[in-house]
C-alpha cells in the first residue's frame, strides 16, 4: 500500500520537499538536554494546535509537523490529526490534499499509527485531489487490511469523489453497496448523490432517491431541496418545484434561502409568469432574504421580455440602493430590452454608464446593438459594431495580429472608429504582452480628441502594475482622476 501512497504523491509540492529532510526519525538515544528541549517545544506545539491552527499557512504547518516529529515524547495521534485536518481545510492551497497523504505516510514511519478518523481525512483528501483520486480506493483496501471498517464518512467521501467526476453509475453502485453492508447513509450522503443526479439531468431518479430518503427517516436540509428545486426548474417543471417549495416551508418547516427563491423566480420568468416571479420576490423580502445579482437579473429579464422597461430600470436602481452590484448580464439584458423596443439611444446611455463603472462589453452586448441598429435603419453603425464583435473575439482568443490587421483596415477606410474599438484593441495587445505598443496607442487617443474610458485606463494601469512600473501606473491613475473618473475595484 505504501506504493499506492507514494504513487499518489509523486508530484508533491516543492514546499513539502524543503521540509522533508526534517522528518527523519531521530536517534533512539537522545541526550537529556535534547529531551528537555523537545518537551518544551511540544508544549508550544500544543498551544499552536489549540489556538492558532486557523491562521497557519502551509509552510508553517509543514514546519510545525517537522518539529512535532522530532519531539520526545511524540505528540498524540489526536494532535497530528488536528494538524492534518487544518491542512486539508486550507482552501487557498491547491496541493493541500497531496500534502496530507504524504504526511500520513511520514506519521506511520515515525511510529504514529492512525485511527479511522485519521484515515477518513486521508480518504477525503484523496477524493478531493484531481491527481490522487484513483488511489482513494486503494487506500480503502489498506484500511480494510488494517482492520478498519469504513463508516458513513468514508463512503460519503468516496461518493463525493465519484460525483465530482460525474461518474453517476459508479456513484449509485457505491451507494447501493453501502446500504447492503449495513452502513446507513446520512443527509450529506443522500444530498451528494441527489445533487449529482440533478446535475446530470436524472431528475426522476433524484426525486425517487429524495422520497427514499424520507422513508428512511433522514431529514432533508435546504441544500437537498435546492438541488431538486433548481433541477426541476432547469427541466421546465416549475410547477413541481413550486410544490416542493411549499412542502419545504409548510410541512418540513425548513426555511428556503436565496438560492431556492432565485431558481424558482428564474423558472417563472422563463415560463412567462412574471407576476408569479414578482410574488416570490415579495415573499423573499417578507422573509428578510436578500436577493442576489442572479435574482435581480432574472426579474429584469422578465420585465424586459414583456416590454416593461421602466419597471426593469426601477429594479436596476433598487438593486444598487440595496448594495447589489449590477454585472455585465444586468446591463446587457437592459440594453437588449431597449434595442428590441427601438430605443437604441437609451441602450447606448446604459452602455456608457456600464463602461464608466468599469464593466467591459462582451460579444452578446455587441450583438444586441447590431440587431438594434438594424431595427432602426442604421446599417453603417451596425457594421462598426460588427467589427467590434470580430475584434473582441480575435483578441479574446489571442489572435491579436489578425485583430490589428482589421483595425488598420478600419482606419484606412476612414470608418468611424470609436473609443470602444480602441479599448478592445488595447486590451488585446496588453493580453499578449505588447504593453508598450498598447500604451503608444493609448497616448494617441488624446491627439485624436478621444477620451479614454475607465476600462481603457484600468487596462493600462493593471498592466503597468504587473510589469512593476508603479511610477507609470500612479501617474496614469492620477490622470484618470483628473479626467473625472472614479476608480473601480480593480484599481482602487
CATH number at residue 430: 1.25.40.10
Select the more confidently predicted residue: 18 or 378: 378
Question: Is the pLDDT reported for residue 483 higher than 90?
Answer: no
Mean pLDDT of the region 231-257: 88
Query: Is residue 155 classed exposed, middle or buried when 0-12, 13-18 and 19+ CB atoms within 10 A define those classes?
Result: buried
Q: Model confidence over 245-260: pLDDT tens digits?
A: 888 888 888 889 999 9
Q: What's the confidence (pLDDT) of residue 122?
A: 76
Q: What's the confidence (pLDDT) of residue 66?
A: 85
Q: What's the confidence (pLDDT) of residue 94?
A: 65
What is the rounded CA–CA span in Å between residue 265 and residue 286? 15
Q: Please name the residue ranges forming H helices in 89-221.
A: 96-109, 116-128, 135-145, 152-164, 168-180, 187-199, 203-215
* Least confident window among 66-80, 198-212, 312-326, 468-482: 66-80
Q: What's the confidence (pLDDT) of residue 92?
A: 66
Judge whether 25 lies within some domain: yes
Select the more confidently predicted residue: 126 or 167: 167
Overall pTM > 0.85: no
Domain end among 131, 157, 181: 131
What is the rounded CA–CA span in Å between residue 79 and residue 242? 48
Question: Is the pLDDT reported for residue 6 higher than 60?
Answer: no
Residue carrying C-alpha cell 428590441: 340
Mean pLDDT of the region 352-361: 82
Residue in 484, 414, 408 with CA at minimum distance from that of residue 452: 484
Mean pLDDT of the region 307-320: 95
Q: How many CB atoms lie within 10 A of CB 194?
A: 26
Q: What's the confidence (pLDDT) of residue 251?
A: 86
What is the rounded CA–CA span in Å between residue 179 and residue 364? 49
> Domain range holding 482?
391-492
Question: Is the pLDDT reported for residue 376 higher than 90?
Answer: no
Mean pLDDT of the region 4-31: 39
Q: What's the confidence (pLDDT) of residue 15?
A: 43
Return all residues near 228 (Cβ < 8 A) that are at least 6 apart: 194, 198, 206, 207, 210, 241, 244
Select the more confidently predicted residue: 461 or 381: 461
Judge whether 140 lies within some domain: no
At residue 130 the predicted structure's pLDDT band, cuts being 50, 70 and 90, is: low
Q: How many CB atoms lie within 10 A of CB 219?
A: 12
Q: Model confidence over 262-294: pLDDT tens digits?
A: 999 999 999 899 999 999 999 999 999 999 999
Are residues 46 and 78 in contact, defined by beta-carbon separation less than 8 angstroms? no
Q: What's the confidence (pLDDT) of residue 36?
A: 34
What is the rounded CA–CA span in Å between residue 6 and residue 135? 10
Select the more confidently predicted residue: 135 or 318: 318
What is the rounded CA–CA span in Å between residue 208 and residue 202? 10
Question: Is the pLDDT reported for residue 134 higher than 50?
Answer: yes
* Least confident window among 89-103, 386-400, 430-444, 451-465: 89-103
Mean pLDDT of the region 428-444: 91
Domain end among 82, 110, 131: 131
What is the rounded CA–CA span in Å between residue 184 and residue 194? 16
At residue 52 the predicted structure's pLDDT band, cuts being 50, 70 and 90, is: low
Q: What's the confidence (pLDDT) of residue 335?
A: 95
At residue 51 the predicted structure's pLDDT band, cuts being 50, 70 and 90, is: low
DSSP character string of 388-420: HHHHHHHHHTT-HHHHHHHHHHHHHTT----HH
Select the more confidently predicted residue: 491 or 404: 404
DSSP character string of 265-321: HHHHHHTT-HHHHHHHHHHHHHTTPPP-HHHHHHHHHHHHHTT-HHHHHHHHHHHHH
Mean pLDDT of the region 395-414: 86
What's the DSSP call for residue 249?
A: I
At residue 38 the predicted structure's pLDDT band, cuts being 50, 70 and 90, is: very low
Query: Is residue 406 classed exposed, middle or buried when 0-12, 13-18 and 19+ CB atoms within 10 A define those classes?
Result: middle
Structural domains of the chain, count: 2
Judge whether 42 lies within some domain: yes
Are residues 487 and 481 in contact, defined by beta-carbon separation less than 8 angstroms? yes
* Least confident window among 19-28, 132-141, 305-314, 353-362: 19-28
Residue in 138, 94, 96, 95 with CA at minimum distance from that of residue 119: 138
Averaged pLDDT score across all residues of the chain:
82
Q: What's the confidence (pLDDT) of residue 486?
A: 64
Judge whether 248 lies within some domain: no
What's the DSSP call for residue 26?
A: P
Judge whether 114 lies within some domain: yes
Q: What's the confidence (pLDDT) of residue 118?
A: 77
Q: What's the confidence (pLDDT) of residue 11?
A: 37
Q: What's the confidence (pLDDT) of residue 423?
A: 92
Share of the chain above pLDDT 90, in %: 39
Query: Is residue 203 classed exposed, middle or buried when 0-12, 13-18 and 19+ CB atoms within 10 A define those classes?
Result: middle
Q: How many CA atoms lie within 13 Å of 198's alpha carbon, on the beta-carbon side?
A: 23
* Least confident window among 24-38, 44-58, 316-330: 24-38
H or E element that contains 433: none
Judge whether 357 lies within some domain: no
What is the rounded CA–CA span in Å between residue 237 and residue 191? 20
What is the distance of C-alpha 125 from the center of its chain? 19
Highest mean pLDDT among 72-76, 131-135, 265-269, 381-385: 265-269
**Cell triple for 353:** 454608464
Select the more confidently predicted residue: 67 or 339: 339
Q: Model confidence over 145-187: pLDDT tens digits?
A: 777 888 999 999 999 989 988 899 999 999 999 999 999 999 9
At residue 129 the predicted structure's pLDDT band, cuts being 50, 70 and 90, is: low
Judge whether 220 lies within some domain: no
Are residues 88 and 94 in contact, defined by beta-carbon separation less than 8 angstroms? no
Question: Is the pLDDT reported for residue 382 higher than 50?
Answer: yes
Domain end among 104, 131, 158: 131
At residue 409 the predicted structure's pLDDT band, cuts being 50, 70 and 90, is: confident
CA quadruple 120, 123, 127, 131: dihedral, nearest 10: 150
Mean pLDDT of the region 37-63: 63
Judge whether 245 lies within some domain: no
Q: How far apart are the first and last CA of the chain?
A: 52
Select the more confidently predicted residue: 44 or 284: 284
**Cell triple for 172:** 449509485
Residue carrying C-alpha cell 431556492: 260
What is the rounded CA–CA span in Å between residue 7 and residue 305? 56
Are residues 42 and 73 in contact, defined by beta-carbon separation less than 8 angstroms? yes
Amino acid at each position: 500500500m505504501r506504493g499506492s501512497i507514494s504513487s499518489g504523491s509523486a508530484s508533491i509540492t516543492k514546499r513539502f520537499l524543503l521540509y522533508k529532510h526534517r522528518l527523519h526519525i531521530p536517534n533512539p538515544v537522545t541526550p537529556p538536554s535534547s529531551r528537555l528541549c523537545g518537551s518544551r517545544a511540544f508544549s508550544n506545539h500544543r498551544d499552536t494546535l489549540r489556538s492558532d491552527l486557523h491562521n497557519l499557512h502551509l509552510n508553517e504547518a509543514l514546519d510545525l509537523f517537522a518539529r512535532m516529529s522530532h519531539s520526545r515524547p511524540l505528540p498524540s495521534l489526536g494532535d497530528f490529526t488536528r494538524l492534518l485536518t487544518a491542512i486539508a481545510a486550507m482552501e487557498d492551497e491547491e496541493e493541500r490534499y497531496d500534502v496530507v497523504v504524504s504526511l500520513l505516510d511520514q506519521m506511520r514511519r515515525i511510529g504514529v499509527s492512525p485511527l479511522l478518523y485519521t484515515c477518513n481525512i486521508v480518504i477525503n483528501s484523496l477524493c478531493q485531489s484531481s491527481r490522487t483520486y484513483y488511489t482513494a480506493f486503494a487506500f480503502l483496501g489498506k484500511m480494510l487490511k488494517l482492520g478498519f471498517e469504513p463508516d458513513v464518512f468514508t463512503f460519503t467521501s468516496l461518493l463525493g469523489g465519484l460525483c465530482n467526476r460525474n461518474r453517476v453509475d459508479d456513484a449509485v453502485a457505491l451507494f447501493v453497496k453501502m446500504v447492503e453492508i449495513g452502513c446507513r447513509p446520512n443527509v450529506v450522503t443522500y444530498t451528494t448523490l441527489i445533487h449529482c443526479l440533478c446535475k446530470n439531468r436524472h431528475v426522476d431518479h433524484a426525486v425517487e432517491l429524495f422520497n427514499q430518503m424520507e422513508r428512511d427517516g433522514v431529514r432533508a436540509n435546504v441544500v437537498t431541496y435546492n438541488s431538486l428545486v433548481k433541477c426541476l426548474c432547469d427541466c421546465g417543471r416549475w410547477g413541481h418545484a413550486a410544490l416542493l417549495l411549499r412542502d419545504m416551508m409548510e410541512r418540513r418547516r425548513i426555511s428556503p434561502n436565496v438560492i431556492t427563491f432565485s431558481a424558482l423566480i428564474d423558472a417563472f420568468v422563463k415560463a412567462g409568469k412574471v407576476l408569479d416571479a414578482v410574488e416570490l420576490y415579495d415573499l423573499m423580502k417578507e422573509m428578510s432574504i436578500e436577493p442576489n445579482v442572479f435574482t435581480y437579473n432574472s426579474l429584469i429579464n422578465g420585465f424586459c421580455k414583456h416590454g416593461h422597461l421602466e419597471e426593469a430600470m426601477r429594479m436596476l436602481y433598487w438593486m444598487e440602493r440595496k448594495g447589489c452590484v449590477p454585472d455585465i448580464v444586468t446591463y446587457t439584458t437592459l440594453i437588449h430590452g431597449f434595442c428590441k423596443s427601438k430605443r437604441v439611444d437609451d441602450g447606448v446611455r446604459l452602455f456608457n454608464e456600464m463602461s464608466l463603472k468599469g464593466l467591459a462589453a462582451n460579444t452578446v452586448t455587441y450583438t444586441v446593438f447590431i440587431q438594434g441598429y438594424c431595427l432602426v435603419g442604421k446599417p453603417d453603425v451596425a457594421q462598426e459594431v460588427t467589427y467590434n464583435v470580430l475584434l473582441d473575439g480575435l483578441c479574446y482568443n489571442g489572435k491579436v495580429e489578425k485583430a490589428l490587421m482589421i483595425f488598420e483596415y478600419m482606419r484606412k477606410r476612414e470608418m468611424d472608429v470609436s473609443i470602444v474599438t480602441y479599448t478592445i484593441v488595447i486590451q488585446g495587445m496588453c493580453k499578449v504582452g505588447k504593453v508598450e505598443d498598447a500604451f503608444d496607442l493609448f497616448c494617441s487617443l488624446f491627439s485624436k480628441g478621444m477620451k479614454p474610458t475607465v476600462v481603457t485606463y484600468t487596462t493600462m494601469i493593471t498592466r503597468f502594475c504587473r510589469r512593476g512600473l508603479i511610477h507609470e501606473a500612479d501617474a496614469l491613475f492620477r490622470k484618470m482622476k483628473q479626467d473625472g473618473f472614479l476608480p473601480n475595484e480593480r484599481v482602487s
